[in-house]
Chain A
């Protein structure tokens, strides 16, 4: 199925490619804005799941299939579960609602909309390659092998730093979240 999705996504003349892009873009952006409009924290977590899955599909459209798998495993499988556990541990009633005042909502939406409009105006005025067709990855090209080799050669220092960071984060999170004696 992955190979099929990759072939459909990477073929520049396939009529399926724009359709798939619009479906996944609508899924991603729609559920992201559903997070903004929702007041229930459990619903927000579920909408985050569909957003993350949509982003993984967008990585597929960009010929980054290894990254899409990482996104599904680490984000949808790890970070999201962590968030749901956090929700369950920090509310007496998981369906509790903390309602924002209308003025704050309007102000937040205004700031976000102005950031988006500013970015789109910058995009219209910048020389990004517009209608260039995506270069298809050649047959037999193995992203995973190249990413693995790059991690242990060009990106060795960030890789080791990430390893140390994960150790520090694990110790710090276990220390901070411990049950304190009262």
Chain B
């Protein structure tokens, strides 16, 4: 038991990733502010990136002279896509706010204001 606590290995990082994923999902489901939902999406993307890097480090470490970096490459692309997604989502939210005068997603029941 103390060995499990004192030797940090893959399951520890996976549990952190699961808790981050659960926080992201519940943020997406419970927030009424559209930007809050965007923050939940960012949490889920971070959980996925932690998984990629942790599996790269422990599951497929590569040869000792040159550790594998494929999981890190995936995480870099996740960060790029998250930045792109955040900018488009915020542009949509600004448009929504201009049309409806509110950022509450409960009021987005109409395609044309």
Q: Which residues of A contact B (CB under 8 A)?
A: 17-18, 21, 25, 28-29, 32-33, 35-36, 41, 44-45, 48, 51-52, 55, 58-59, 61-64, 66-67, 70-71, 74-75, 78-79, 82-83, 85-87, 89-91, 98-100, 104-105, 107-109, 111-113, 115-116, 119-120, 123, 128-135, 137-138, 141, 143, 146-147, 150-151, 155, 158, 162, 165-166, 169-170, 172-177, 179-180
Q: Which residues of A contact B86 (CB under 8 A)?
A: 79, 82-83
- Which of these, B12, B14, B33, B64, contacts A98 with CB under 8 Å? B33
Q: Which residues of B contact A21 (CB under 8 A)?
A: 8, 12
Q: What sequence of 0s and 1s flags, for each residue 47-68 of chain B, a beta carbon within 8 Å of any chain A beta carbon?
A: 0011001101111010011110
Q: Is there an interface contact between A25 and B21, defined as CB atoms closer than 8 Å? A: no
- Which of these, A25, A113, A141, contacts B67 with CB under 8 Å? A141
Query: How distant is B50 from chain A, measured CB to nearest CB, in Å?
Result: 6
Q: List 15 A-B contacts (CB under 8 A).
A: A29-B16, A29-B20, A36-B23, A52-B42, A61-B8, A79-B42, A83-B38, A86-B93, A98-B31, A115-B25, A128-B14, A134-B61, A147-B72, A162-B80, A162-B81
Q: What sequence of 0s and 1s flags, for each residue 90-109 of chain B, a beta carbon within 8 Å of any chain A beta carbon?
A: 11111101100001100000
